[in-house]
Every structure is written in structure tokens, then in C-alpha cells.
Chains A and B, each alone.
Chain A
Amino acid sequence: MVEALLDPSTLTSILLIAISGTLICIAVHFVPVGGAPAAMAQATGIGTGTVELAAGSGLVGLITASYMNANVPDAPMALILGAGAMGSMIMISSAMFVGGLIYAYGVGVPFASAQIKRDPFTGTRQDIYMSKGTQGQGLPTICFVSGVIGAGLGGIGGALIYYVLYGIYEPLISPTSAAAVAGVFTVGVFYVNAVIPSYGVGGTIEGFHDPKFRRVLPKDTVTSFVVSLISGVVAVLIAGGMVT
């Protein structure tokens, strides 16, 4: 079993899974997560938890990636990763757009970020629009852009795990079973890697312009890489149990 693990192609698979897990972890830091304060329009971001947002967009990416994998014969890796990224980005954009509509026309707050003085994309001043006692509100342009980047990374990460695992399991069991096992394993790895950064950021983060981003990213990435590496080894060893 040990010599099988040291095979170059197996090592590549394990490393790819570890990288994808890390990508998911990095992706979560980009998503503007506001948690409960944002749900009351007292902080910038979408008003729900890190895990829900990361998993929600990532799982849509997984669906689009697996759809591409199932319907395009011998699809190249780039196509599947692209499909995953696209699905995630569409999902998070819709979530942020609808959230933005509700913040603007339902709650009635101007969008403002508490972490920067001027939005680098629109050049609008932020601090004068911030309500007293809040940490910004709504989804300013920079948060939206950051969220789309994050979803893209997360989608690529999820799609990459799926692609690698499907390739490992497909020769051993039926394609349906291989897709199911690879998909469920991806969901498991996704959840673990979505929760780790949420502990690091402590519930809320605005995006890549947030000072928290630079502070917590390194240690979250290390944790996520190690955990994903273990997951990768485990995933490859599962294939050993499928050989008939």
C-alpha cells in the first residue's frame, strides 16, 4: 500500500487535492461575509455565515463541473475547472445582487465599507455614508468584486477535487458510483475547508481589502493545506478498497 502511495501519479493526485482544499480556504476569505450583524444591516457583507456562503456557491460550482464532466466526452481539466468557477461565480453574484436589492430598497441603507476610505473601483468616499455605530452596510463595489473572485477560486477548488477523484475511481467502479463517491467526498472536504477559515476570521470579513485578510490568511492556509493533504491521502486509499 505504501509503495502504491509513492507512485508519481498518485502523489500528483494527492497534491492536487491538497491544493484544491487550500484554494477553497483562500476563497472563503474573499467572500464578503457579514454574519448576523450584516443581517441587521450593521456590518458590510451578505447577512449569513461563512460556511453557508462558501458552501452554497461552491456546491453550485460542483454541480456545473460535474455536469460538464458527464456531458462532454473526455473533457479537458481546464473546461471542468472553468465550469466550476463559472457556476460558483453566477451563484454568489445572484446572492449578492438580490441581497443588494434588499439592502438598498428594503432596508434602505447606502452601501459603505468600514475598512477603506475610498472604493478603489468607483472612487466614492465611504466613511461619510456610514451610519453611526455600524461597521458599514450593504455591499459596496469592492466587496462585490472580492466576492466574485472568491467564488471563482472556490469553484475551481471544488471542481479540481471532483475531477481528480472521478479520474481515480472511474476505472474501478461504475461511472454513476464514481461520480457519487467523488461528489460526496468533495462535499466533505469542502465543508471542512469552509469552516477552518471561518474560525480564523471569526465570523465576518469584508473581502481582500479587509486588514483581517492579511492577518489570518497565512495560518488558515497552512491549516487547510495540512488537513487537505490528509484528505488527499485518505481519498487515494479509498480506491484501494474498491479494487475487485
Chain B
Amino acid sequence: MSDHKDIPPNTLMLFGVIGGLIGIYLTYFSYISPYFSIAGALGAICAVIWGADAVRRVAKYGLGTGVPSIGQIALGMGIVASMFGLAIVKPLPLAGPIVALITASLIGLIIGLFAQYVIKMKIPVMVRCMTEIAAAGSIIIVGYSAAVAGNFEFVSSIIPRVFDNGIILVVFWAGAVAILHPFNATLGPDETQKRLIYIAGSTGAITMTIIGIASTMTLGAVGGVTVVLGIILWVIFYKKFWDEVYKDSASVVGTGLIPKTEA
């Protein structure tokens, strides 16, 4: 129905990886000013947008189990890989997020290959998308965790500030919903990538708000700024989504009767 061209997957991948990593690495400077930790959540939003688009590309084929399953496996792989990536690089903490990203991609690649060739799901983009989704999942976990912990050092910051108090479960669940909700909500015969990207931005931003509330517990006033910024971003993205829905609904035309047999 729409006449605009979709943003190519590679562009979104670069946006997610580079934006995500820049955001996460900016939190490293939180020893200069604690406000740098907010960048982690902004980086995670980039990954949410990328991940939601990857979910869209694979879930379009029909998984048979609903879209939520792929969001949950993404964050499941992401959390395993992130803990490994952040913990393993003790002599060089700076490498943590990149190692997490690579590990997640490898786990995603293996699961994708198995899903394609052993379980035989017959989805041509399965391997690529599973890798992308896992990688996005790890950036989401590390990004939001860094926004709560102040930086991404596993043993000294993330364990006491994110794991001990259970905030990691909020990161896990809210992150999973952020990545799976956009396509789950917009799927259908007339869905467009534009609407998906805007609603992905809004789910990422509302997760950032929740993360902000959590980080008022760990970082104090900085959390308040994260909340306010999250709400502003949510309003912006949601308004854009709203406008897009209005524009698209104006172009809906009759599609005829419902076919007798289901496709």
C-alpha cells in the first residue's frame, strides 16, 4: 500500500551496532560526570529499533508460535552472551561490550543454523535474522544495565547494582517486550516498516523511562533525568507513530471479501 522504500537491513544494522556501542561506551566516562550513564539507554534504543526490524523480517514468514517467542529467545541468548562478554574480559574491561556482541552473534548464528537445517523451519532469512536478533538482544541488555549501573564493569558495578537487587529481570522483560511488541502490534496485510520503526522507538523509550525509575535507586538524581528524557522520547516517537497511522489509514481501500480458505 505504501509507496516509500524500506530502509535496507544493513543500514539499520549499522545504526543499531554503532549507535548501541557508542551509547554503551559513553557510559565509561561516567566517572567524569554521572550523566554519561544515560547514553547507555539511548544506545539500547538504537538496538531496539534494529532488533524490531530483524524480528519483522523473520516473523513475516510465520513462525507458528507467535512473535513473542522470538523476542524471548533473543533476550535469553542476549543475557547469556552479555554476562559472558562482560565477565570474561577482566584485564581489559573496555572490550566487554564488543565481546558480548560477538558472543551473542555466534550463539544466534548457531541457533539459526540449527533452526534452519536441523529443525527445518524453511525460513530463508532465519540464520541471518537470528544472529541479528541475538546481537541486538545483547546490546539491549548491556545498554540498559549500564544505564542503571553507571558503567559496564561486571563484577564491580553490574553485579551489585543490577543483579543483586533484581533490576536485571526488569531489563530482561521490558527489553524483550520492547523488541517483540513492535511487530506483534503492527503485523498484518498492510503493515509498513515506518510504523514499526516509530513504535519500536516508543517501546525503547518507555523501557528507558522504567530503567530511569530503577536507576534513581542506584544512581540518584541521574535517574530522574533518564525518566524525563525517556518520557520526552516516548512522546516524540509515539506522536510520529500516531501521525503515520493516520496517514496510512487514509490510503486504505477496499480489499474485497475475505477469501473462503485461509492462506
Question: A residues engaging B (CB < 8 A)?
Answer: 35-36, 49-52, 55, 173, 176-177, 180-181, 184-185, 187-192, 194-196, 198-200, 202-203, 216, 219-220, 222-223, 226-227, 230-231, 234-235, 237-238, 240-244
Report if B39 contacts A (CB, 8 A). Answer: no
The reply to whether A223 and B87 form a contact with Cβ atoms under 8 Å apart is no
The reply to whether B77 and A176 form a contact with Cβ atoms under 8 Å apart is no
How many whole Å from A236's CB to the nearest CB in chain B? 10
Report if B179 contacts A (CB, 8 A). Answer: no
The reply to whether A223 and B75 form a contact with Cβ atoms under 8 Å apart is no
Query: What total of chain B residues lie within 8 Å of the partner, measured CB to CB?
Result: 43
Report if B83 contacts A (CB, 8 A). Answer: yes
Report if B9 contacts A (CB, 8 A). Answer: no
The reply to whether A187 and B79 form a contact with Cβ atoms under 8 Å apart is yes
How many whole Å from A161's CB to the nearest CB in chain B? 11
Pairs A–B under 8 Å by Cβ, sample size 22: A35-B66, A49-B65, A51-B69, A52-B68, A173-B159, A177-B164, A180-B163, A180-B168, A184-B79, A184-B168, A187-B76, A188-B172, A191-B76, A196-B115, A200-B119, A203-B63, A220-B119, A234-B103, A237-B87, A240-B88, A241-B90, A241-B155
Q: Mark B32-66, 1 if CB is under 8 A from A, else 0.
A: 00000000000000000000000000000001111
Q: A177-B159, A203-B64, A240-B87 are in contact. Are A55 and B72 (CB under 8 A)?
A: yes
Chain A to chain B: the 8 pairs with minimum beta-carbon distance, closest first:
A241-B87, A191-B76, A195-B73, A202-B64, A180-B163, A188-B79, A223-B114, A203-B64
In whole angstroms, how far apart are the Cα atoms of A51 and B163 in the complex? 24
In whole angstroms, how far apart are the Cα atoms of A231 and B89 in the complex? 17
The reply to whether B115 and A180 form a contact with Cβ atoms under 8 Å apart is no
The reply to whether A241 and B154 form a contact with Cβ atoms under 8 Å apart is yes
How many whole Å from B241's CB to the nearest CB in chain A? 26
The reply to whether A238 and B83 form a contact with Cβ atoms under 8 Å apart is yes
Contacts of A49 in B (CB 8 A): 65-66, 68-69
Which residue on chain A has the smallest CB distance to residue B173?
A187
How many whole Å from A169's CB to the nearest CB in chain B? 10
How many whole Å from A193's CB to the nearest CB in chain B? 8
Contacts of A237 in B (CB 8 A): 84, 87-88
Contacts of B87 in A (CB 8 A): 237-238, 240-242
In whole angstroms, how far apart are the Cα atoms of A190 and B63 in the complex? 19
Contacts of A35 in B (CB 8 A): 65-66
Which of B76, B154, B168 is in CB contact (< 8 Å) with A190? B76
Q: A35-B66, A173-B155, A181-B159 are in contact. Are A195 and B79 (CB under 8 A)?
A: no
How many whole Å from B67's CB to the nearest CB in chain A? 10
The reply to whether B77 and A192 form a contact with Cβ atoms under 8 Å apart is yes
In whole angstroms, how far apart are the Cα atoms of A220 and B115 in the complex? 9
In whole angstroms, how far apart are the Cα atoms of A192 and B155 in the complex? 25
Which of B63, B69, B80 is in CB contact (< 8 Å) with A188? B80
Q: Mark B95-120, 1 if CB is under 8 A from A, else 0.
A: 00000000100010011001100111
The reply to whether A195 and B72 form a contact with Cβ atoms under 8 Å apart is yes
Contacts of B81 in A (CB 8 A): 234
In whole angstroms, how far apart are the Cα atoms of A51 and B66 in the complex? 10
In whole angstroms, how far apart are the Cα atoms of A226 and B113 in the complex? 12
Which residue on chain A has the smallest CB distance to residue B165?
A180
Report if B121 contacts A (CB, 8 A). Answer: yes
Contacts of B75 in A (CB 8 A): 188, 191
Contacts of A176 in B (CB 8 A): 164
How many whole Å from A17's CB to the nearest CB in chain B? 11
